[in-house]
Amino acid sequence: MDATQLLKGVLDAAVLAVVEDDDGYGYDVVRRLRSAGLEDVGDASVYGTLRRLYAAGALSSYVVPSEEGPHRKYYGINARGRELLETQRKSWRAFSETVDHLLAPEGAPR
Amino acid sequence: MSTTLPVPTAPGPDRGGATGDPSLDARWYAAAVRSELSDLPSDVVEELAGGLEADLADLAAESSTPLAQRLGPPSGYAAELRSAAGLAPRVAGGARGSGLWARATEGVREDVEHAVTHLRAQRWWPGAVERAVLLRPAWWALRGALLAWLPLQVLFGGVLTLGAFLTVLAAVAASVEVGRRRTVVPWKRSLVVAGNVLAVLVAPFALLSLAGPQTVYVDSGYASSDPAASTGVWVDGRQVTNLYPYDAQGRPLTGVQLLDDYGQPVATTTGEARDWTTFEGPSPLVPVVDAEGAVRWNAYPLQVRADGGGAPVMPPLPQPTLAPLVGAAAPVATATPTASPTASPTASAAPTETLAPAPTASVLAG
């Protein structure tokens, strides 16, 4: 099964979860997702998702000037984002339970 | 939103290492991605690609593998960014227009992109780019000089006056300033690109004009384009004004009359100022008069009259004597101080049997 296709559906939730406790800039978020096990996540997909969540009002953003090199754009979760994350957590749980049940070998006790 | 302000991560240890400048690689890649998004409004582009340079610089600092190899071509990256951000994919031709031209250039653009992506995947590429960037200010200066040279050449024929010099200096300064301020405004960028292309096209001509001094041009012009002025004797592209004959023993001769293979006298000059390119005014060379009263310009060496007039004198010899020829016949020209009736012992080969003796014909003491 193509994991990247699965990933697309949950990337919003995953990104929100990763910045829930600590703000992060683009590549920082990518690293956190990868170290959490989502190794195939694409850089651009994460950046695009951050931008979209920001545009949707689920993230706030601020720029940190850097003494050497370009400025960093940090993203942090806001109240709207927390709401969204909570909704997505619930729907993911329901969805994954359903799919687990569906995919479980026949006759196996669940 | 969390209130803790994270400390920016320090760049990797291999930043700017032997394999090239990762931040440079990141800047290039980010710029390429931005250009892929150029059909979007600028605030949307900023929203999508803002901070991209920093993120890419971090990624680049992690490994020496060029970004294009790890992330794929910028066009793919931009497409992924777009789709993840919930934007429609770029329409083929998009902002470039959907006409025939746009469709024709699209293929070329993609080819170039693939070639560039392939190049960037090479190990030597970052180093080469780094060096090229170091040389960039030199190109800015050269570009300014070349772009100033073109109108000066066209309008004034490239004569180096103080005004021309100052114009070139001003153009160099302006060009460097333009190079320093990297513009993002599309039409200004197009202008800069056009300037660069023009400078590259002009460069070989400017180089040629520097390499070929004007005198060469004048010389060849005289020799070929004006037959009237091409009389005289030319050796190696220079006009010869006098000839110095030596006999078989290597001793200098005087009064040697020369004819060419058409039987015409070989005259370096006919006394007109026009023939005498080295001097202004009448020629200082003096012809001799033969026994029949004819003026002979082909008896060498021609004598020279000093500035204030007076009796003509022998010009100084280029060499006092030459080495005798091997197997030379017995001295013939030494027979008498006044020339013998035959000018040469092999009279049969001469174009004219004999010539009238010139009064000054003699052999100088060797």
The residue type found at B61 is A
- Whether B81 contacts chain A with CB within 8 A: yes
Res. B227: pLDDT tops 50: no
* Residue B5 forms part of a structural domain: no
Could you say which of 1.10.730.10, 1.10.10.60, 1.10.10.10, 2.30.110.10 is the CATH number of the domain covering A3-103?
1.10.10.10
- A105 min Cα distance to partner chain B (Å): 34
What are the pLDDT digits (tens) for B65-116? 888 888 888 888 898 888 888 888 876 544 445 567 766 777 787 788 778 7
Residues of A in contact with B77 (CB under 8 A): 43-44
Residue by residue, DSSP assigns B165-199 as: HHHHHHHHHHHHHHHHS----HHHHHHHHHHHHHH
Q: Do A48 and B51 touch (CB under 8 A)?
A: no
- B99 lies in the same domain as B127: yes
Residue B336 in any domain: the answer is yes
Whether A87 shows a pLDDT value over 80: the answer reads yes
User: Which chain B residue is nearest to residue A16, measuring alpha carbons?
Assistant: B1
Average pLDDT over residues B130-150: 87
Residue B2: predicted pLDDT: 42
Average the pLDDT over each of A25-39, A49-63, B162-176, B315-329 and give the range with the smallest value.
B315-329
| Per-residue pLDDT band at B11 (split at 50, 70, 90) | very low
Question: B166: domain range?
Answer: 136-211
pLDDT tens for B278-336 read 555 556 788 888 888 888 888 888 888 776 667 788 888 888 888 888 876 555 544 44
Q: Does position B272 have pLDDT exceeding 70, yes or no?
A: no
Query: Rounded to a whole number, what is the distance in Å from the CA of A94 to chain B's nearest CA?
Result: 24
Q: If you write DSSP's letter for every residue of B225-252 in order, what string do you get? A: I-GGGG-SEEETTEEE-----B-TTS-B
Task: Find the range with the poorest average confidence among A67-76, B98-107, B200-209.
Answer: B98-107
**Which range, of A36-50, A60-74, A93-107, B224-238, averages the lowest pLDDT?**
B224-238
Domain assignment present for residue B216? The answer is no
Asked if B152 and B158 touch (Cβ cutoff 8 Å), the reply is yes
A52-72 mean pLDDT: 85
Q: What is the pLDDT of residue A75?
A: 92
B256 touches chain A (CB under 8 A): no
Residues with Cβ within 8 Å of residue B277, at least 6 apart in sequence: B222, B239
Residues A51, A56: Cα–Cα separation, whole Å: 9
Tell me what percent of the residues of chain B surpass a pLDDT of 70.
69
Domain ranges of chain A: 3-103
Q: What ipTM was reported for this prediction? A: 0.78
CB nearest to B6's CB, from A23, A69, A78: A23
C-alpha A88/C-alpha B332 separation (Å) is 122
Residues B365 and B243 in one domain: yes
Let me know whether B104 and B120 are in one domain: yes
Chain A residues with beta carbon closer than 8 angstroms to that of B85? 47-49, 51-52, 55
Which has the higher per-residue pLDDT, B3 or B304? B304
Q: How confident is the model at residue A107, as a pLDDT?
A: 62
Q: Is residue B227 part of a domain?
A: no
Pair B106, B152 in one domain? no
- In this structure, are B181 and B293 located in the same domain? no
| Tokens (6 digits) for B132 | 């090229």
Q: Are residues B275 and B293 in the same domain?
A: yes
Q: Is the pLDDT confidence value at A76 over 90?
A: yes
**Number of domains, chain B:** 3
pLDDT, greater one: B353 or B285: B285
Range of weakest confidence among B19-23, B219-223, B355-359 = B219-223
Contacts of B7 (CB under 8 A, 6+ apart): none
Question: To the nearest whole number, what is the mean pLDDT of chain B?
Answer: 73
Nearest by CB to residue A26, choosing from B55, B83, B86, is B55
Instruction: Please check whether residue B90 is in contact with residue B79, taking contact to mean a CB–CB distance below 8 angstroms.
Output: yes
pLDDT at residue B325 in the model: 86
Average pLDDT over residues B208-231: 52
Verify that B262 and B365 share a domain, yes or no.
yes
